[in-house]
Amino acid sequence: MDKKELPNKKEKGFPAKGGAEAAPKVSGLSGKIFGVVKFILGILLLPFVYSSSIAFIGQIGLADGLLQRHFWCGGLSFILIYLFVWEPAPIYGWGHKILEIVFSFFKPFVKVAPFLLPIYTLVILILYGITSFFNSSAWLIQYTMFLCGFTIVMHLVFSSKTIRGNKSDFLKANYIFGFSFIYIINIGLLALGLSLILKGFSFVAFSGEAYSLAGDIFYAVFKQLFLR
């Protein structure tokens, strides 16, 4: 065959060797840049993780002592079961699938909803709100607080485990940013729910204290770095 009849790769649309090799490199570089951005955002969220935790502990400390103990015992019970008895991953998985079905009509939210919304905790709070109209027994809110503690800790533990399992996570950016964001949203939703059923627990006070503490941390860091 005459060499002139051989197809020209550039004319036939074949990608140049250099371009084929450059594409993965560009993609990998952009992924690392995005990872660095998420890492920085994750670090910036850490003060809010701390402040929301302190604000939540402060507000729940204003509730009845017996209800406080039920809530913390619920969280501790999950940790003990998780560490020494059984990992209730199937239970968490069921809730995950329920939220995927519920939000299947809005695909951008399907992947994040199961992490952002502690489905079992929300269901327990809703059921208490309905049941309390017909039954005002003390044991009802006590069991509700226990189950809230149990389910919120379960949700946070398995959400953390799922995000941490990504081995390609550059600088652990997805974990630091993702779990920090999930934690803040979950604590905020729990605080909102408890403010509706507990006397003395104020969601407005929780939000104000969390914002104020985070602001103080940012100011202290800024002052240390630039105003010395």
Amino acid identity of residue 82, one-letter, is: Y
Break the chain into its structural domains and give their ranges.
Answer: 12-226
Amino acid identity of residue 92, one-letter, is: Y
Place of tokens 């003390």: 138
CA 73 to CA 188: how far, in whole Å? 20
DSSP 8-state assignment for residue 14:
P
State the angle between helix axes of 138-164 and 89-102 in degrees (0 to 180), rounded to the nearest 10. Answer: 90
CA 150 to CA 171: how far, in whole Å? 31
pTM of the model: 0.83
CA 6 to CA 208: how far, in whole Å? 74
**Neighbour tally for 209: CB within 10 Å:** 18
CA 228 to CA 222: how far, in whole Å? 9
Question: Do residues 51 and 214 make contact, with C-beta atoms less than 8 angstroms apart?
Answer: yes
Alpha helix segments (H runs only) across the chain: 17-60, 65-84, 89-102, 107-110, 113-116, 119-131, 138-164, 173-195, 203-226
DSSP, collapsed to helix, strand or coil, labels residue 170 as helix
CA 197 to CA 195: how far, in whole Å? 6
* pLDDT at position 167: 61
Task: Find the length of the chain.
Answer: 228
CA geometry: angle 108, 203, 198, nearest 5 deg: 115
* pLDDT at position 9: 47
Residues of the chain with pLDDT under 50: 1, 3, 9-12, 14
Task: List the one residue out of 22, 60, 38 whose CA is nearest residue 193.
Answer: 60
